[in-house]
Amino acid sequence: MEKTTAEIFDIENWQAMSLEQISISLQNKKKLSIYSWRNFNKELSPLSLYKLLKSKFGIANGSSMLFKSESTDNLIHWHYTFSVKNCEIHFLGKSSGLEIVLKLTPEIKFNETDWMILLNNIKSKYSEYGKQMKEVQAEFQKYTLFINPYNRLNHSLNSLIRELKSLDTTEIKRINAMTSTHEEMDNYHKKLELWVKNIERSVALGTTIRMLSPVLAESFINLVILIFAKEEYKQDNRLYENLIRQQIDIRVKTLHLNCNGFKKQIDGESETFKNFHTLMNNRNDFLHGNVDPTRLMFEDVFFDMEYIPLFHEDDSIIIKTMKNYLKNVESQKAFSDYNTVKLFIAFILSHLHDDHRKYLEHLLLTRMPGYNHQTKGIGILFNVGLAEMG
């Protein structure tokens, strides 16, 4: 006689399985029909479901918990297993998303539409167990994920630099149109077209790299302050805002005073610091130079009878234009700006105590850290384990 899932899906009938019961189940060769549901349409909140299950049944008891490492570097983060009427229900919180697995005896009739009955049964319990769920959540540590601005900028800059290095902007050799064959002229124009294309792309890349390199440096300094700022700055938003709005050189020179973890003062007279300071001071000049035509002048041209151009150097107009198009955004200048920032970052890292330096180096590689609302510290939550400084 076929049975429906009504009793199976009644949460009040569920029993948390013991380790012994789970072990017996894993060894049991009795045939059960297996059905799986994934939370693709986000019908359930993993947070709400977990709070409900923990408030009613206690800590997660599934077999996956036995093999879980004490970090976030797991495929399965939590796993509940329940027995009901010789059947099993598994709830798995995975890195890839929430999954529910049913193991039903053959006499249970199951339809795909039955999933909605289970989901609605779960949701209906939220209000009933609201107080207990709130108490459970009060024990959680709350983090807010944020995009690491330094990490994102650094990835972008590395991508731009790789592309810029791949472009050949060597000026092409002109050929004599009077003595060249049609094939040679056709080949020359193809090379000219590619050269122009590479120059134009190099200008875009060089400009972007030179604009972003100082931003990368500032994002690094502000990240250092966010992580290591002393308690008085973490507790007072106005003090913190005043700190990060100071002139960049003042922010750097006073890191040892305003932040934890520094074993010595930043030497403002070092060549690395001076190069960094020059880069930051030149930022506005560079930005203004990109909108002020007088800063990008490169050659005189004379006109006779108003419409006859005369140059000192003999080049075609397009070559004359393109070979000077990279003025102030040459690849070597772009690479130099970025290298100045990287040397400066290494310089700052060398001033930190080992534990603070290692933590910061890990954080710089983290795309998505978290802000702890209780400790006001920054956590490395995923990929490289769970750590926190602050």
Residues 6+ apart with CB under 8 A from 317: none
Kindly list the averaged pLDDT for each block of 10 residues, start to end, along the chain of length 390.
Answer: 79 93 79 92 95 96 89 90 94 94 92 94 96 96 92 96 95 84 89 93 95 96 95 93 94 96 95 95 72 72 86 79 82 96 97 96 93 88 61
Contact 351, 266 (CB under 8 A): yes
Q: How many CB atoms lie within 10 A of CB 49?
A: 22
**So what's the pLDDT on residue 317?**
77
Q: Where are the CATH 3.30.310 domain residues in the chain? A: 11-140
| 3-state class (DSSP) for residue 11 | helix
Q: Cα dihedral sign for 326, 327, 332, 335?
A: negative
Contact 390, 375 (CB under 8 A): yes
Q: Cα dihedral sign for 350, 346, 251, 222?
A: negative
Class of domain 11-140: alpha beta
**So what's the pLDDT on residue 174?**
83
**So what's the pLDDT on residue 1?**
45
**So what's the pLDDT on residue 385?**
47
How would you classify the pairing of strands 302-304 and 76-84?
unpaired
Contact 378, 227 (CB under 8 A): yes
The pTM (predicted TM-score) of the whole model is 0.80
Contact 53, 118 (CB under 8 A): no
